[in-house]
Structure 1
Amino acid sequence: MMNKSMLMSSLAAIALLPGQLLAQKPLAPKDDPEFLKKSALMVDRHVASLYKTKKLPVPDVVDDPTFLRRSFLVAAGRIPNLEEARAFLEIEDSDKREALVTYLMGSDGYRSHMTNWVLDILRAQDNFDRGDAAPYLEFVHSSVAENKPWDVMTRELLASKGALWSEGNGAVGYFVRDKGMELDNLSNTMRIFTGTRMECAQCHDDPFGEYERMDFYHLAAFVSGQREINRGPWDQVWREVRDAKEERSEFGELMRWLGDNIHYATLGGGGNGRIKLPNDYQYRDGDPGEMIGGKTPFGDRKRTSDRKDAGDSRATFAEWISSTDNPRFNATIVNRMWQRVMGRGIWEPVDEYKEPEDTVAPALVKDLVKLMQTLEYDVKAFQNVLLLTRTFQFAANSQAFDAGVPQSFNGRQLERMTAEQVWDSMVTLVKGNPDALPKRKFGNGIYYNGKNVLGGEKTMAELAEELLAIKSAGEYRQYVNELLKNMKYGSGKKDKKMESMDMMARAGRPGPANGMARASELASPAPEGHFLRQFGQSDRILLDSATNEANMAQVLSLMNGHVEKMVVSNDNSALYKALEAGSSDRDKVRYLYYAVLGRPPSDDEMKLLMRDVIDGTDGSYRNLASALLSTHEFLFIQ
């Protein structure tokens, strides 16, 4: 938890750093606070130049309470708790905003909030159409936790192959997620990583776009040939099971589970590098059923043969997508991070690429791309730069808006929190320090029908390795019979330590059923009817399907649903520690405002409350808490 001494120590560290650098090995730009601050000034100069061309003064910055709340919601995905609000608002120091950014970007809250963003953009779900997706979710969580560079993460996803359950191979889930829908997966890939909309070209030449159907299939060649590893023995045994009508037998049920959780979750080979045009291909540049090779439409041009399989074309595709020479990859992640921090992209929509010269600030876009490359695609450091800018602190200016200054340069526009921000803010009000709550854990034990059937004797990785090495149907049947026997009776080889660790991982998974946790640690996505879904969390089926639009279910939830139960009627909620911290009614009111809205009450509000609402009883404070939580000010980011 941040208090005054911690805030001041952060300031002291920043102040001492330049002198320390003389005696230390030079820092990489992404780790150098001075470089980050200079980069923030570069951004502000570009934005000031834009205002100058409009003959407008640069906007004023927001006050401390607005900056506090805005920074917490953008960087950490939640409101500040009482102690954090007091530490920031009740000290006077000219560098405290910079210190706050340092605190937030070093917090677990950043990891949690960024994990939500990555899960959302990848449409990552707890389960595939068939089988458990836990290793894929673990890949996302661990990649964000270690602050993996965006280009590295992109290559790992797009060049992935092998078995999902193999140690550290969760990236395979990116393709397993869309098993049987290779072309749809490619369309999403181009939107996510390059801001290129090609879904129309999947079926026909796009009359409003720049790419034709042939362009799409040339790209599809790179990711074609996705297949499962050594599926033949399983297929043969499964046919025998169906012919004997034994699908519902113990053996048949286990076979079905192995097909869904082991074989389905594999990706064989590295890509063919060539593909047949569809039978309905209707243009003169190719014939239906014609075999074509891969060819990239922009950036560093890559090709594959149409006469023989490449064997590693997905890796070629991944290198091309994430190359420093791919202008769309660079500009798209820059614009996505700008949108994430500033509330609007430099251009919108963010998944429709624009050449820098076609944007409102060409020089800024080019310098931001250079900055992202200098930071080695460290999106955390890049966001840190944006949070340090004066531009991030702008107050919205109607005069600038009327003069045609885009919203992305005109102060963060008023908008409702995302579902995850609302939920995590509620969790903060209940628990105080959400960073200390349980984190999601992922076990590698074999869970069949909800039970750890081998009790630590074997992991999913070991099971996958053994099954995928079997060459004949007879050997496969024998293995499954032995596995079924061990599941029922055990083999006497159990590893009690591993069993205990895996059981703790499963039992310790946080959620509504066994404890409160942040949105990133819950099911992905939350089940239908959950608070998160009511407030617009993405179903993670389609890209960009989250919404922050209001509906009646949200109103009811705020008035007498989750909010009432979680916070207002919960005497143990951290919110009411505000009452313990205050020695007078006025202090208690001020601290309730700090905890809910991140600001003190105005003089008029305090007078009204002291006269008509607060009578010193718990009931009057409970009514005030309920009223504050029902305001637009609580639900909106300013």
Structure 2
Amino acid sequence: MPLLLRMALLAAATSSTIAAAPSFRHEIMPLLSRSGCNTGACHGSANGKGNLKLSLRGENPEADFLTLASNRQSSRLNTADPLKSLLLRKPANLASHEGGKRLPPDSDGFRLLESWIREGAPDDPPDAPTLTNLSVSPPERIVEPPDSPIPLSVTASFSDGSSRDVTRAAVYELSNLIASVSPDGVVSARQPGETTVVVRFEFLQRPVSLAFLPSNPDFSFPDTPEFNFVDQHIFRRLRQLKTAPAPLCDDTTFLRRASLDLTGQLPDRATAERFAADPAPDKRARLVDQLLLAQAFADWWSLKWADLLRLEERVMDPTGTRAMHQWLRNAVASDLPANLLVRALLTTDGSSYQNPAANYWRVLRDPSLRAEATAQLFLGTRIGCARCHNHPFDRWTQDDYYRFAAIFDGIGYDILSNRRRDDNDRMEFAGEQVISFNAKRDLRDPRRDASPLPAALGGQPLPVSPNRLHLLADWLTAPDHPLFAKVQVNRAWAALFTRGLVDPVDDFRMTNPASHPALLDALASQFISDGFQLRPLLRILTNSRTYQLSSDPGPAAPNGIHAFSRASIRRLPAEALLDAAHAALGVPLDFRNFPDSHSAVSLPGARFITKSKRADAPEAFLKEFGKPPRATSCDCERTTESSLAQVFSLTSGPLVDRLLRHKDNHLSRLLNDHASPDAILDDLFWRFLSRTPSPPERDRLLPLLADPSSLRPAMEDLAWSLLNTKEFLLRR
């Protein structure tokens, strides 16, 4: 080919490239996302803003193109004179704009949008390449001074094999405030700690895990024995983070911690004294074995299931609630494998009284609620957002949502009787119901006004037949399911360590990565090998050194990194605190609505929490301290946060006052036995704090018990003081 011809062709190609309009999908849509135009607070809200409605976070480019470019000679979009377009003028704040300045007139974004309008605001051609992958470098990094700040590099790959740097076109969002990130992807530390940066371009998102460490050039990881594979994973990460683990907790702390975590009960005096006197090196492991077989273990862990499965009397009625609770308690006591327990919940029909697991469906009365609860409980996946729009932080689309919800269509209720007290409350039921599965298809996808075909979440289609729930159970509880075992393991971990390896525990997604993914995999694999049974899992966790660490970091100064380097401190849950107060003072619990329940952790239901009228009733105390009404299927409904009202309840509340003054409480028994001041002091310390008083405590407190004429008030004051100590109120 002659040189002049080649030069002419090259010039023509170059001219064509320069003149080509920006891509609507790959340049204009990302620009709108970076500028915040399509967020839920702006034009991406359900009703839009300022007469402009865009799809949330750009999930529907086709609809957005029609919205923006359907009229190319309007005030919104003027291709003849782009600078008159409100699409340019408003974000540049050249016209009144509630959202303020988003695209300064001298910015690259402004020029890009102007160029697209000037070229006629075209859509991409049908054969235009599509986005296939998004990669971020570095995907994770531990950052030490002086390496901060950290620039991220983002590359998009397309279906034609091409790729381009989209670092300045991506959106960056942080999981917390320990760092900041610039629009160009440069992450700077504000303080030491760990954070996740979610990088988004078009419909793809990628997480970047970063840890910012303080300067500590002289750090040396201490020689710390590992008890099992849990410690191997935790300590490996701590070495990387230059964070020393806390020392082991003392025996008293371990006894109380393990007793509360495994049974929800404090140890009695005899158990505490026996444990303190035992010199055997394996006494902690033997204690764990004893607690796992205790009756209170079944009460405590069935309580956790009862919260999640919403056992409450308004919908389930008292008889159904008791039946379901007893079934759950028997399942926990017998260590029914989690896969079989969940299978029973998903596949049981028939009478809600005779087949208690059928009450799972009695609470969830429509396909959408059933789908959302099942995904959240057993897959750790929140799909509720996808009911109205594609999930903004996960991969689930509206199609995924409605196809999954279709599995839960066709569940019928034969209400044999309904003796409800409030005829206006459509969700109150008082009577037996018979649950049935059928092939009806009443659920409609509102976008198409059609019945969606059922399909497992991200999985295979399921037939429209009454046995589809059995097929769902097969898929969901299979050993090779990527989430089921991990979700069960993560809930158990969170119960013992306060925070899950994935946190929140019901929010598994790529953009919320596990803190220790390899450990989560290892625990899930072991859980499956152990037949999905809870006790072997809890035995592994509680026998780890990680579980037995002190909450005090020791001589190592905190560096902003936790990473399970020490135990977390939390207030006792409502039921455990109420039981502990009654046990320490020797007063039996009396629940008028549940005469067969002699501890708060064994209560089957929750409706009485909102119905109690007596200020000194244990029900009122449980409500004050965060027992949930069980209105949702979320762990977040229970709270262990402290409040001023709780302080008043403990220091001057009627229930505590009644316990202290009760004529048959333990203080009265000590008086009747003519116990010495030394014996009284020792006994109360053992009952409240599981230990003897220290020498300074003994020297300070014994004189208070010296006067026989005021011994009863002095004992009440001492018991009140011990009940209000942090050592009693907190799980350390």
Common fold by TM > 0.5: yes
The alignment status of 1:627 with 2:699, answered yes or no, reads: no
Q: 1:567 to 1:226 in 2, by over 3 A?
A: same
- Choose which of 556, 565, 583 in structure 1 pairs with 2:648: 556
RMSD: 3.3
1:223-262, aligned counterparts within 5 Å? 223-229=408-414, 261-262=431-432
Specify the code of the residue in structure 2 equivalent to 1:268.
S
The alignment status of 1:331 with 2:491, answered yes or no, reads: no
Secondary structure of the equivalent of 2:465? Answer: coil
- Choose which of 65, 83, 86 in structure 1 pairs with 2:270: 83
C-alpha displacement of 1:430: 4.3
- Which range moves more in the overlay, 204-213 or 571-580? 571-580
The residue aligned with 1:421 is 576
The alignment status of 1:148 with 2:373, answered yes or no, reads: no
Higher helix share: 1
Q: 1:84 to 1:216 in 2, by over 3 A?
A: same
User: How far, CA to CA, are the matches of 1:311 and 1:213 in structure 2?
Assistant: 24
The alignment status of 1:359 with 2:495, answered yes or no, reads: no
Q: Is the 8 A contact 2:325 2:604 kept in 1?
A: no
The alignment status of 1:184 with 2:276, answered yes or no, reads: no
Specify the code of the residue in structure 2 equivalent to 1:418.
P
C-alpha displacement of 1:175: 0.6
Q: Is the 8 A contact 1:270 1:314 kept in 2?
A: no
Secondary structure of the equivalent of 1:402? Answer: coil
What do the CA deviations read for 1:58-105 (whole angstroms, capped 9, x no partner)? 431111111111111111102112222211123333222122112211
Q: Is the 8 A contact 1:582 1:591 kept in 2?
A: no
User: How far, CA to CA, are the matches of 1:137 and 1:421 in structure 2?
Assistant: 18
The residue aligned with 1:381 is 536
The residue aligned with 2:547 is 392
Normalised TM-score (structure 2): 0.61
C-alpha displacement of 1:216: 0.6
Q: 1:402 to 1:511 in 2, by over 3 A?
A: farther
Identity of aligned residues (%): 24
The alignment status of 1:637 with 2:721, answered yes or no, reads: no
Specify the code of the residue in structure 2 equivalent to 1:73.
L
Structure 2: runs of 5+ lacking an equivalent: 1-224, 613-618
Q: 1:579 to 1:365 in 2, by over 3 A?
A: farther
The alignment status of 1:157 with 2:334, answered yes or no, reads: no
- Choose which of 540, 548, 559 in structure 2 pairs with 1:402: 559
Secondary structure of the equivalent of 1:133? Answer: helix
Specify the code of the residue in structure 1 equivalent to 2:444.
L
- Choose which of 673, 684, 699 in structure 2 pairs with 1:607: 699
User: How far, CA to CA, are the matches of 2:530 and 2:671 in structure 1?
Assistant: 45
The alignment status of 1:345 with 2:506, answered yes or no, reads: no
Q: 1:405 to 1:565 in 2, by over 3 A?
A: closer
User: How far, CA to CA, are the matches of 1:219 and 1:394 in structure 2?
Assistant: 43
- Choose which of 346, 349, 357 in structure 2 pairs with 1:171: 357
Q: 1:550 to 1:417 in 2, by over 3 A?
A: same
User: How far, CA to CA, are the matches of 1:46 and 1:579 in structure 2?
Assistant: 53
Structure 1: runs of 5+ lacking an equivalent: 1-37, 239-246, 282-287, 439-509
- Choose which of 437, 441, 446 in structure 2 pairs with 1:269: 437
C-alpha displacement of 1:632: 2.5
User: How far, CA to CA, are the matches of 1:46 and 1:601 in structure 2?
Assistant: 38
What do the CA deviations read for 1:199-228 (whole angstroms, capped 9, x no partner)? 111222222332111101111111111113
What do the CA deviations read for 1:22-44 (whole angstroms, capped 9, x no partner)? xxxxxxxxxxxxxxxx9961212
Q: 1:591 to 1:215 in 2, by over 3 A?
A: same
Secondary structure of the equivalent of 2:452? Answer: strand
Specify the code of the residue in structure 2 equivalent to 1:126.
E
1:113-124, aligned counterparts within 5 Å? 113-124=300-311
Specify the code of the residue in structure 2 equivalent to 1:297.
L
What do the CA deviations read for 1:353-403 (whole angstroms, capped 9, x no partner)? 146994332221111011110111111221122111111110135557525
Q: 1:325 to 1:598 in 2, by over 3 A?
A: same
Specify the code of the residue in structure 1 equivalent to 2:494.
Q
Specify the code of the residue in structure 1 equivalent to 2:516.
A
What do the CA deviations read for 1:163-222 (whole angstroms, capped 9, x no partner)? 2233xx11110011122x321122111111111010111222222332111101111111
Secondary structure of the equivalent of 1:223? Answer: coil
Q: Is the 8 A contact 1:215 1:297 kept in 2?
A: yes
The residue aligned with 1:210 is 395
The residue aligned with 1:303 is 461
C-alpha displacement of 1:511: 4.5
Q: Is the 8 A contact 2:502 2:512 kept in 1?
A: no
User: How far, CA to CA, are the matches of 1:425 and 1:545 in structure 2?
Assistant: 22
The residue aligned with 1:72 is 259
Secondary structure of the equivalent of 2:547? Answer: helix
The alignment status of 1:62 with 2:154, answered yes or no, reads: no
Q: 1:614 to 1:353 in 2, by over 3 A?
A: farther
Q: Is the 8 A contact 1:130 1:261 kept in 2?
A: yes
Q: 1:618 to 1:335 in 2, by over 3 A?
A: same
Secondary structure of the equivalent of 2:483? Answer: helix
Normalised TM-score (structure 1): 0.70
User: How far, CA to CA, are the matches of 2:663 and 2:376 in structure 1?
Assistant: 47
- Choose which of 468, 472, 490 in structure 2 pairs with 1:313: 468
What do the CA deviations read for 1:207-251 (whole angstroms, capped 9, x no partner)? 23321111011111111111135x7xx89xx9xxxxxxxx99xxx
User: How far, CA to CA, are the matches of 2:706 and 2:506 in structure 1?
Assistant: 50
Q: How many residues align?
A: 487
Secondary structure of the equivalent of 1:78? Answer: coil
User: Which protein has greater RCO, CA pairs closer than 8 Å, 6+ apart?
Assistant: 1
The residue aligned with 2:600 is 519
User: How far, CA to CA, are the matches of 2:558 and 2:346 in structure 1?
Assistant: 41
Q: 1:547 to 1:94 in 2, by over 3 A?
A: same
Higher strand share: 2
